[in-house]
Chain A
Amino acid sequence: MLALRSAQRLGLRSILPAAYKNVGLVSYSSSQSKNDDGYSSSDDEKPKKKKDKPVKKSDEPAETAAQRLNRLLGTMQATDQLSASDFPRPGDENRRRREVQKQEIASKNVLTAAKNIASMLGTSESDKKQTESELLAKLLGHGSESAPAAAGEGQTTAPAGDKELNLSELIVGMKIDRRQQPPQVEQTRGEYVRRSLASRAKSQGRDGYHQRPQRQVKREAESFTGSVNLYGGEPLGIFKDTQLPNSTDILSTWSQLSERELSLQAAHPPANYFEQMVLWTDESKVWRFPINNEQDWADEVNVDFSEHIFLEQHLEEWCPNKGPVRHFMELVCVGLSKNPYVTAQEKKDHILWFRDYFEAKKDILRDLISKEPGKSISA
């Protein structure tokens, strides 16, 4: 899917810059004829907001640089419009209506924004008025209610879109006017792009539909209010009973396998030794925490150590209290109690084997003992 998407994108992208490249070339050459000594890049075309005013007042050459660029941009727009072919498209009416609405809002925003800036900059009342009218004249002279001028300074950086990329191609050949150090680079670019687009939208909105509707929408990124309400729509209405019991997977092996596969998809190569240990533990290549030398004991878990060590209890029922057999069996018990390799049950079985053995050999033993008086094995 990703591959497919990128292929499509390539196609589209290769078409888009072609148009802009033309524009760029034309405008570049046209502006070159006007002035030869060096251009400010769009970076330097600071302005409009706070920066504009001080610059204008204090720094004459800077202003001319900005003006020059504005002129340059103006040419660019003009050419752009010419090159854009206007074909009516389905849905034009709707879009146009929406555009008109949007622009009305935008124009209001521009007015308030200009006022704000003016009040920020100006000290005297007349100063404010002048600033405001200058700003508005600048904006409107450029074409129109430039869309979301009030979108906020912090956010304006974002929508510097493809346009900028193409602009970059335009700028490649230019020298950068270093007299002005641009403190906030993207803001200006975003603003420039937006302004140019808005002017285009206006002129094209009237007499037919402009080429790429989405491009205009795109510029409004942050201020875009018509967001998609993901969960507010009309439900499908198929599942009316929302209280259905959870259906369990009827295939237990399958669900196990898919669970395992899922967890593998989120598994990354270990990034440190602890993760490496986790991995090894999961693969059961190391003992599990907490380290316990009784882990994985199945048959002896519930056997107390006393059953391993105190084995004489198994003698009581059958073994004589004294004598060689008793002596022998006690030695057997001592030996077994020190053996960690057999289970308690095996030890017991071992002892009981001797009981049966002695039982079987009872007669022989008796004969032997009767020959040696003073010793007795009788129970």
Chain B
Amino acid sequence: MKKVFALLLALMMLALTGAALAEKLVVGTNAEFAPFESIGDDGKFVGFDMDLIDAIMKDAGLEYEIISIEFDALTSALASGQIDVAISAMTINDERKAYVLFSEPYFDASQKLVVVEGSPITQASDLKEGMKVGVQMGTTGDVYATDNLPVEVVRFNKVLDAILDMKNGRLDAVLTDAAPSEYYAQAVGGLVVLPEELSEEKYGIVVKLDNTELMDKINASLAKLKEDGTYEAIHKMHFAPSEE
């Protein structure tokens, strides 16, 4: 009995030291937001954010792995230490700044409405009381619609679920970031992205509030990638000029 116990203890210590040796940064994302982050046909994470974080981590010489969790859980996962970094098309805003540390902005974005083809809605002011607008919960689209539109806001875990619900005739519009709305409108078909830009936002990479050391590395690498053209190349790969 004693021997078995000793063996178990030894195994446990081995496992613990093993985990400590292979210390990798855990990067959290919500892989439901193409073209920034989604799961590709081969089951790997793909998208603009994924390529960017890969370039940054390589430049900074850091090992990392990616996990995908709900978007609204990313900030609390950072605070509780389950993830070290989050990159998930996250808009820099003051509310979030109180809880997480943002990098320098890495992408300019805006919020756009998506409607079905032939919809009478052509701009945000066409949305009236009693209409329903779908959003992904916790996104800036959610906050914008809740604060600024007179409609009922229906919150989904994924943008795609909201889009499908609208296709089934249950929503009048979906509000989400410009690039994903273009992406899903094209992928699903029969949809129109309204040109009106409802807000101007910038995306940032985030780490835990007190992890300035890691953030300095990320910012330094981000600046370098912007300088040497890597950023430009990644951007081109995901956003053809005709789309934007």
Q: Do A and B come from one complex?
A: no
